[in-house]
Amino acid sequence: MTKLKPMMMMLLTLLSGILYAQTVTIDRSTQRFLGTVSTLDRAKYFTLHSNSNDADVQTFFNDYNVTKGRGFWGPYSYAKSQTGSVGTYPAYKGGSTAVRNVSRFISTEHPKNVVRWSADKVAGANWAVEYWKNFVDDAGRAEFFEPMNEPFVHAGDPEFSAEQPDQALMRERMAEWFGEIGLKIDQSPELANMKVVGYASAWPSMELWDFGHWNTRMKMFMDVAGQHMDAFSVHLYDGINVTGQDNRRSGSNSEAILDLVETYSNVKWGTVKDHAITEYGGIESGYGSDYSDIANAQSVKAINAILFNLLERENNMAISIPFITDKSTWHINASNNYQPYGAVLFKPSNIGQPNPTGWTYTPRIYFYELWRNVTGNRVDISTSDPDVQIQAFADGNKLYVALNNLHSANKTVNLNLAGGTGQVQNVRIKTLKIYDNSNPVFSDNTQTSAPSSITLIPQETAMLEYTFSNTASFTNAIRSTKYYSTAYLQAISANTAIPFTFNGVTTGTGKATLRMSISRKHNVSKSPVVKVNGTTVAVPTNWKGYDQANREDFFGTIEIPVDMSLIQSNNTVTVTFPDNGGRVASMILQVEKYDNPVTVNDSFVFTNPPTSLPSATSYDFDVTYSASQSRDLIVEFWSSTSWLAQTTVTVPAGNGTTTVTVNLSSAPPAGSGYIIKGSIRPVGGDWTTSLDTDQVNNVTVVANQDLFAFSNPPAELPSKTTYNISVDYSASQSRDVVVEFWSSTGWLGQGTTTVNAGSGTATVAINLGSAPATGTGYILKGSIRPVGTDWTQNIDTEQVNNITVTANQEPYGGTAYAIPGVIESEDYDTGGSGVAYYDATSANSGGSYRTDGVDLEVCGEGGYNVGWTANGEWLEYTVNVASAGTYQVAIRYASLSATGNIHIESGGTNLSGAISLPATGAWQTYATVNATVTLPAGEQILRVHITAGNINLNHLTFTSSGGARLTHESKSSEELIIVYPNPVEDGKFTLSIPADALGASYVLYNLQGAVMLSGRLEDVQTALDVAALKPGVYMLQAAGEYRKIQIK
């Protein structure tokens, strides 16, 4: 297309500037406190998941101002190594009564080395005290002891189920051990410097089963062991962590998880105990089993995103550990093809070899590069968009401003330095862009002037290091305090107010926010009526991060601004939803109060004021404002002579940027002299009460032209009776968009779509009486014309000549094969020779199954196989790929004596490389060879190209590569799913899974990808009734793995 797209691109550029500008404000003259904490304690955040003494690791610690984080060793692993059994401990040594020094790291252990159902918890706890007092030196004595790592997901492991098959009881027993260990260490003056944390929740989906997960996991743990815990530990991951849903916890979900833990801590003990985030990050999937820098970098997106949440809780944060490991040399072995572990900071310089010859940093070093120099005291900050996260620290003449974009679209952020900051000498700007399918880009540049704005791509993090001519001098302070209600997990009933009380609140000038965490189904409201002391406050429709649509329920925190003038010493907040279902998990009132009263002037200004606009009935304008209290923002649209329309938006006290949409009854005619007027007023006031105004004069409205163009002009079309043709248009008023289909000799058919005034893309359907014959010389003619007229009234036209109509290629059976899934070789596409396959002979040498030229025979493993293959033959399969990524392909084949060779391609591109298929010794003795391919999401055609024949092909099985975070104790894939009997007998089979997959879903597909059965696995053994299904081969997916099921 040549005519229309430049115009449409111009409009897109204009509107994107209007829609996405945000503002952050940093006041270097005002010190910020979280409770009593202002100074950044780097040891709480910038750690490594390692306590190694390796020389390279020690150099890294020193160079990047990073501390040790976490290691897998402790009293119980040591005892087992000495005695050979769990629950048996070495003889005590005894020692002095002096208080022992500690080193700052976390010691943790695998549950199987710690506990048994019948083991004596008191003896075990006493041994932990003895070990930490007398069996290690100061360097080996951990400040934090986390007795078991992720114990509850292992409660059904054989080590425990042999004595106690009831996992709920086993979880309670594990919690009792945590409590007893904490008690004994509390009672040991020599270990006064040690802290016990738990329970290392691997799967903190608190909201599942109407908070049944919360009640039987974290709440149970807090009730049983919490009194003797110094901090509560959870693991926060974007992705699937061992088990559970595909979650993105960064943003509102992780906020809600930690808010609920804080709330219950306050309810139970009247104080908020610390958090210990002993693992957090992202779990990448779809990148194959071999190491890649692209895959390694993915987790850093989540690490940065979650870090901003944790930094906001420093006054309640004991320690946090990003899941970045050291060299993880345990993973470099033959079974892993001598590949590095995916989470490492160091990779061998000779990847794929058994003995590393040197080490280099992986892209995870960029996390530490970004935050390398950051130190100092917090300063006052604000952001107009919850998806733009911000942190700021002042240290001498340095100001560090960190920004993170949680949104899936680019964000342009206006940078407002307030408070008389002094002269900027230079700004060092470090940014980290991480892409799904290409290497990350880390930039580090210095400029002499302060930038007015910065644009962040999705999930990008930027660090701006300002150097000023003067040292920061604080003239005020703002102190953040959270007030917790005793009401939590409140059930939601339609039109019923839920009350929360907050008493003893310190009032003044500043900012107030209600942190409302809710769990609700996606089809009900997230916008209740919220009243603070009887006054309704606006509930935002935006929150941190994504909409959680891929989770079963929304569980997240929505931050509601509240005018400080509404806050009293004793407060009542009510929340009323219009519909039933879900719960308000927690409600926290956060008040940020200035030490010295601050007066905010009311101001209004247009952000990126437009000079021209298209003729339309709706316009979006961004405005930047300051409001001393709750105010109305008004935007008016005028012609040169009269008012046309206006919109009012009410905003809370404070500074920010918001979008105001003005709707007109009809599109204004083209011309100049239009005016955009804006103002800020008291709530409910009129133009006479305006406190500040801004005006954009002489705006030009551009007329819409009548234009037509094919969106993607085709060179080929399949032979069929219906075509859906995409076209781009611009219409000055309601118009007909027409597409005609012609042969080289005459008109065959046409379709018409009527469009409204404006620009866009439309689909025009052409229905033919019969499918056109294959051949060349076909023509598409397109036009835009007045509604109801014929070709003589065409205003604009475009024509595509010399289109080739090809034989229609369709998936066999009508439905594309699903990937992940199994492709049966005999079910290649329809369309005939040269279209869906090429076979060296014209007849089916096997005489089975299908009547065209591919050679098929009955397969000894059931079904049919492709045989009599020759060099150069190929078969094509239409597939539907669930998600973009790298897939493992298992080729099931047989060969008498020759070594065959195939490859998998798409669109002429070899995706797999050469795949060698060694002889199996007989035509019906089958073997499996594995390869990998990287595929985009969606429907596409794969070709299996036989470069060396004399092989039989049975099927190809595609499974997603990667996805699970592996540990030393990870089970092989063959152990993850056990299905018996297979083939199925009497219409039933049993699905057995490991305990750490509980809560995962299962899906049974037919070979065309249709779902036959689905559900959730709540037990380690689940019986499935398939008597109603017809005999055949099916695919079962559970816990991320696949099995082939035969039903007779």
Write out the catalytic residue numbers.
Answer: 150, 279
- In angstroms, the CA 402 to CA 379 distance is 12
Residue 891 CB-density burial (10 A; 0-12 exposed, 13-18 middle, 19+ buried): buried
Query: Which residues lie closer than 8 Å to 62 by C-beta, 6 or more apart?
Result: none
Pairing of strands 603-607, 618-627: antiparallel
String of DSSP letters for 206-217: TTHHHHHHHHHT
Q: What angle do CA 43, 49, 55 make, to 5 degrees?
A: 90
Pairing of strands 909-910, 900-906: antiparallel
Residue 6 CB-density burial (10 A; 0-12 exposed, 13-18 middle, 19+ buried): exposed
Phi-psi region of 82 (alpha: psi -120 to 50; beta: other; left: phi over 0): alpha
**What size, in residues, is the chain?**
1048
String of DSSP letters for 657-686: EEEEEEE-SSPPPSEEEEEEEEEEEETT--
- In angstroms, the CA 547 to CA 776 distance is 48
Per DSSP (E only), the strands in 820-873 are 821-824, 837-838, 856-858, 864-866
Q: What angle do CA 293, 297, 299 make, to 5 degrees?
A: 140
Which of 235, 223, 236, 233 is closest to 264 using CA atoms?
A: 223
- In angstroms, the CA 894 to CA 900 distance is 9
- Structure tokens, 758: 């404006």
CA-based radius of gyration for the chain: 33
Instruction: Answer whether 31's CB lies under 8 Å from 377's CB.
Output: yes
Pairing of strands 978-985, 988-992: antiparallel
Using CA atoms, how far residue 814 sits from 174, 811, 827, 829, in Å, is 53, 5, 11, 9
Using CA atoms, how far residue 174 sits from 170, 223, 226, in Å, is 6, 13, 13
Longest dimension (CA), the chain: 105
Question: DSSP letter at 334?
Answer: G
Rounded to the nearest 10°, the torsion over CA 79, 82, 83, 85 is: 60
- Structure tokens, 296: 């390694």
Using CA atoms, how far residue 848 sits from 843, 851, 870, in Å, is 11, 8, 18
Query: For 676-700, b where at least 16 C-beta lie within 10 A, e where not — what string?
Result: bbbbbbeeebeeeebbbebebeebe
- Structure tokens, 1013: 């059965």
Residue 921 CB-density burial (10 A; 0-12 exposed, 13-18 middle, 19+ buried): exposed
Phi-psi region of 671 (alpha: psi -120 to 50; beta: other; left: phi over 0): left
Query: Which residues lie closer than 8 Å to 1002 by C-beta, 6 or more apart?
Result: 991, 1013, 1014, 1015, 1016, 1017, 1022, 1036, 1037, 1038
- In angstroms, the CA 406 to CA 304 distance is 10
Q: What angle do CA 836, 838, 843 make, to 5 degrees?
A: 105
Residue 842 CB-density burial (10 A; 0-12 exposed, 13-18 middle, 19+ buried): exposed
Instruction: Answer whether 67's CB lies under 8 Å from 104's CB.
Output: yes
- In angstroms, the CA 135 to CA 77 distance is 13
